[in-house]
Each structure stands twice: as structure tokens, then as C-alpha cells.
Structure 1
Amino acid sequence: MAAGAPRIFVSHLAGVPVFDPNGDQVGRVRDLVVMLRVGRRPPRLLGLVVELSTRRRIFLPMTRVTGIESGQVITTGVLNVRRFEQRPTERLVFGELLDRRVTLVESGEEVTVLDVSVQQLPARRDWEVTRVFVRKGKKGGAFRRAKGETLTVGWLSVTGFSLEEHGQGAESLLATFEQLRPADLANVLHHLSAKRRAEVAAALDDDRLADVLEELPEDDQIEILGKLKEERAADVLEAMDPDDAADLLAELPTADQERLLSLMQPDDAADMRRLMSYEEHTAGGLMTTEPIVLRPDATVADALARVRNPDLSPALAAQVYVCRPPDETPTGKYLGTVHFQRLLREPPYTLVSAVLDDDLQALDPEAQLPVVAGFFATYDMVAAPVVDEAGALLGAVTVDDVLDHMLPEDWRETEFHLNDESDDETGDTSGKGVVPHGS
């Protein structure tokens, strides 16, 4: 290698922003693409998988990378915005190389890959994988990291990357993406192989997996849930928002539904059954059964304390519902709503019953989706109460659930497509179709 040529460990590139020459951010690095070569030659780094602001993933060749420094990648500004498609000869570093079990050539000992470094070749624009950071000893389980000596060795000092491996771990991959929002981590999982997706799901804790499942397409949800042990699948469903869990359960065969419901806590199972009793595109089918419910003698201070719960979505935290006992849905008589902005304007000791919005009509559980959407548009709401004929609060519909059901069924898998002429705008006018990434 040339003196001073930078050696970069790939873990430092996960999620870093990518900028054009004008300093405008075009996306973030989500993976690296390498090509394994015949014999003992180190893999060639072909380029980066970059996620644009539209969630589309594109391929950025290393020939169009002009700098990697200070937590950022600089490009020439010329991008081909075709969606990235992995070729058979290519490997994704985060998705396929990290956590792999390989063998030290000298000792024959099995080690786990924690990281790899890449380096630019002297007097050329080509990049290669040069070093491998490994840990000796057995792999850690889903909830703990194995202890063992770590060391950095040259690529030629290990073997086993080209072999198909079963039971590949997910620790380093999860550590790489641990700061991602659930929707972004779901996007990562969606682009992994089914085998790798199952391994990552197995390593996530129940709450994190529940959050991610809520953001995945239906087919991925069913696939992942089906690969979990039934007891754990029930635990994950309990950790999900009730409406999302009910939607997922409704897609399973009746026998599977009943087995999972029987393994859940009785109260949670009762909520699931209640939600599943409503037609999907009604207020009852859209609602969550866990809004913020307060009695009329609660104070503004009590309400603000409940609103501060970090586990609440912004939409559910936007208002509280005041009801007679019991406090769990279905509640006693629904009295009205107190909006978050009103809570901020009142003294802490004020009773919530004194600041109610009781003029706003609640939704009927049988109200169809167009009616629900019209309600939100008319009153500029982000959440709305659902009340039955007896006046009991059944739950609340949030605007995100309305959008989920108004968008096309495959919207989570559909790119926000750019203009069809975007390829021409990026300089790709060849019309030759698919070409190798490395060309």
C-alpha cells in the first residue's frame, strides 16, 4: 500500500452522510459492496449502497467517491438513481461479512468477524479489503456478547468468507445500526436475505422487534413471526401496538391465531379479540386500545406526567381522554378530550374536568375509513376518540393508522419514484440496460 493511504474500518461508515461537491446531502451509507475474487486475492470494494431521502437505495461506485473523511463521504455529484440490485458475485459487508465465523490460517482456530478495513491501492482508484478485526472464542448469544481476545489480521490470514454459513450471528450488524429508527431498521431488514433477516430478528429484544415489525411489509411480518418460537411470538405481539398486532394476527390462519392468543396475557388477548371483531377499515379496526385515560379529578400535572411517557407516539401524546371509572378501555362514560396545548396553558393544579373539549363528536366504531379520514381533515386532528353506543371509550384512532390504510397496500415496499428522466439527468444516456456495478 502507498504510504499514507487511509485504512478505514467499515463500522465507521455505517449511516454517515453522503454529500455532493456543493455540500448538499444526497443520502446516507447503508452498506458496502465487495466482490470476492478467485484464489487468495483480497476482495475489491466496488462501491457503497446509499439510501436517498426518498428511501430508495442506489449504488455509488467508488470511482465516484472523491473523499472519505470526518464522518462523511464526498461524491463527484454524478449519481445513477436506479435502485440497487445485488449481483450474484457481490457481497454486502454489513449484511453478509460481519459476524461470519472464519478460520485463522496459521492456527486453524475459528473466530468471529467484528469489522473489516478497506484501503485504496497506490496510484489507482481501486479499493480493497485489507484487514479483518476478529474475536476468538465462541459466539455470543442473542442477549450477551461473547468474551475473548480480539485481534486485527490481514485478509490472507483468514479463510472461510466464500463458504455458505448457517447460523450466522447478528451482533455486529445490530451494533452497526443500533441508532436507527424502527422504520429505518425495518428497511434494512427488508433488504436482507430471509436467512439473515431471521437471524437479526432472533437477536433483537422483544420491544425492539415489536417496533420494527410494525414498520415492515405484511409478508415480512408473517415470515419473521413464523420463524419465532410460539412463546416468543406471543410476547412480541404483546409488545406491539394493539391495533398493529391485531392486524398481523388477522392475516394468520385461525388455528395459529388461537394458539398465539392462548399464550398471551388474558387482558392483551381480550384486546386483540375485540379489535379483530371489527372490520379492518372501520374506526374500531383502526383504533388502539391504549390511549391516555384520566378520571375527571386528575390534575393538569397528572396529565402532563402521562404525556411525557417516552413510549407514547407523538399522536397518542397529543391529547388525553377524560372518563368515569373504569380507566381501562372500554371505560366508564366518556366525558371529553383535553388537548396537549391546552394542558400547557393551564396551572398544574387545575382539574382536567375543568378544561375539557366536550363539543367534539367522537367516532363510532363502525365508521368507515372515508368518514374517519374526513373527520381528521375537518377538525385538523392527529388522534380521535372512538366511543360506543353506551358512551364508553373504546380506544383512539391516530392519523398514522389512517394513512397506513389509505396508502396502497404495498406502500412500504414501493419507492417514492423520482422523475422517469432522472437517469438522463445523471448522465446515463446509454440505454444499454443493466451493467456490472464495478464497470
Structure 2
Amino acid sequence: MTDEARYDSIVVGAGPAGSLAAHDLAAAGARVLLVDRADFPRDKPCGGGVLIGAARHLPFSIEPVVERTLSDFRVRYRRDWTFEYQSDAPLVHMTRRARLDAYLAEQAVAAGATFQDGRRVRGVEPDGDRVTVRFEDGDTVSAATLVAADGVNGVCRRAVGLPPLRAAVAMEADSPGVPGDWSRHVGIELGSMPGGYGWVFPKGDHCNIGVGGWLGIGPRLRGELDAYGAVERFAAPDLAGHRGYRLPLRDIGSPVVVGRVALVGDAAGLVDQLSGEGIGNAFRSGRMAAAAVGRLLAGEAPDLGGYQRALEESVDAELAVSRQLYDLLHDHPWPYVQIMRRSGRFRRMLCRLVRGETDYVHVRRRFGPLAPCFDLAARRAARRVSQRRRRAGRRATVR
């Protein structure tokens, strides 16, 4: 059967990016079909933290699906040394993706979009001024534009000829209950995972514990997760629902537009490499893509190039700085942790970043002068290690 209904836009994937794009397009009067391969509500591997800064990009409140709002954080270094900080304002909303994504899809429907869950896309075929989507059940639907929000493993990216994305990896699990000392804190662990970190996110009735890092550490994730959980007093037998996933990383300046197809969220590789957070850029890209689609449909733009330019000027600029900071901080985590512990000004700057009151570009301007300090600390640490090895070698020779 072929669906002859003509839409202005088809949005493939009802995650944060897709549902926001569908919402904005429908609210502007476009005929929008939002589809997802899963039956909703559905869960998805994700820490489930929505930074206050990310929530600022929403045209509506997510309070109905917030389980806990936290303003304090606890930083642990290499499973040992810790410090805590109490912010003077909220930093992050805790939710579950099953609830968040269902709610966002509901908002898209309320704005006028048609939502069909349980629909698996088999192919995408751009053809002039139309894009046709083929489903597994044999149906086809065409539209003037398509927003690809089907994630890092989605069909759309491959269908339009774009290469696979680089990726980091993560694994998470849940522990029942929220111990009293975790009722107010987000937990972050640095220095143990190559290129990554660990986290504890307290939700309404459980805690989400996870670890992440470069792709090559995938086989180690389960053991690292159990070890980190044990340090934070979450026993391995109590951890359930282990799930691993990829965190897609964009090559700065790479295409997010192919003809009348715009890629958003994880399909565009918009995870922040420094924090591992992707929901904020999913919100932003979904709304930017919707604005570009709207201009094309209204005859105000010849193509979707406005989305590519907007993304490069804002998100790409920040991702580039994020990666510079990532290289600095993950290569030398100990000086970073010490500065975080000792400098109230630095902590306040990070909190402003999380709350969306500043961005990476401005942080880099303030943080840049510290780079020589990090390099000096790293060289000193390397010399100490070298000296210890030489002393150990001399003792072995004497024996």
C-alpha cells in the first residue's frame, strides 16, 4: 500500500531533536509526519540529565517529567579523592528518556504534527523537490523535506551517502533507591577512564550509574562500571539493566544538509565531547533545522543551507572549543580537579556554563591563560614518574 498523503516535512526519529523539529514546524502551520521505529513510550540508553542550559532552548516547560532537580555536585578523582560543591542555583533536571521522549512527542502532536510510532524506515529516496520514505511494511510517504533524527545508527544518514560518525562509548545501569547522601548530588568521576568519565545521576526512585570513554575501551566498560559503582557504594549485584551505547562525534564543518534532507541530534553527531552530553544540542539543532525548513517551504530560501550555516556558526564553534578543552582536561585531569576545588571563580564559571548563562567560547577566553599551568603540571608529573622509575631501576640493580 502507498500512502499518497502529501506532507511538507517528514521527521524520522521522535527523540529530543526530532520532536522539537516536528513541534516547531507544526506550530508554524506545516503538515508534519513524525515517525519512530519504536512503540512509545520506550526507554533509550542515556543518563537522562537535562542541563538547565539545555532546557532554556525549549518553547515549553519539561517540569511534568522532571523527577529531581539538583544544584550540587561531587567530583571524584581516580576512584579515590573527592570534593563537593553546592551551587547557588539549579544545574540539572533528572528525568528518564521514556518519559521525556513521550512528552516531547505529545507536544509535537499538540502543535499539530501527526505521530506514528512502531514504523521502521527501510529507505530514504531524495528526488528533486520531494523526499520519499519507504517503510518495512511496504508503505511509502513523500514530503517536500525530511528531518533525519534517527540517531547514530539510523537509516537516513547512510541513505543520503554520508560516512559513519566517529564515536565514543558508554555503559550504564540502574540501582534501586536513592541513598540519602545522593539525594542532592550529581556525581562525576575523572581520571580513571581513558578519554572519559563516570557519573551518578539520582532519579526519582533509583540512581543511574555509568561510565564512558573512547571506542577502544568498549570491552572494559562492564568491569569499569562495576568498579566505579562499588566505590560509590552501589554494589554490583544491585546494578540492573546494563546497556551500552555509542556517543556520536561530529567532524567540525562536515555536512548536515544533503539536498532537502537535514540531519539533527545524534544523526548529525552533536554530542559534546567534553561532557558527553547530547540533549542540549539535540534541542538546538532540531529547532534550527525546523527554522530552515520553514524558510524553504515559505519560499524565503532556495535550500536548507541556512541550517548548515547556523549550525557551524553556533554549535560547531562551541564543539571546537569543547574539544580543545577536552584535550587539555582529559590529558591532565589532576590539575583541572585541583583548580576546580580551589577556585570558587572557576566553579562559578562552570556552573554558569551548565546553566546556559555562558558558552564554551567565552569559557575558553577565560580559561585559556590556565593552559600553560596545565602543561607545566603535566611536565612536572611526568618528571616525577620518570624519577621514580629510575630509582626503582637502581634499587633492582643493587639487589
Select the structure with the greater relative contact order (CA < 8 A; seq sep ≥ 6): 2
**Over alpha carbons, which structure has the higher Rg?**
1
Q: Same fold (TM over 0.5)?
A: no
TM-score normalized by the length of structure 1: 0.22
Greater helix percent: which structure? 2
TM-score normalized by the length of structure 2: 0.24
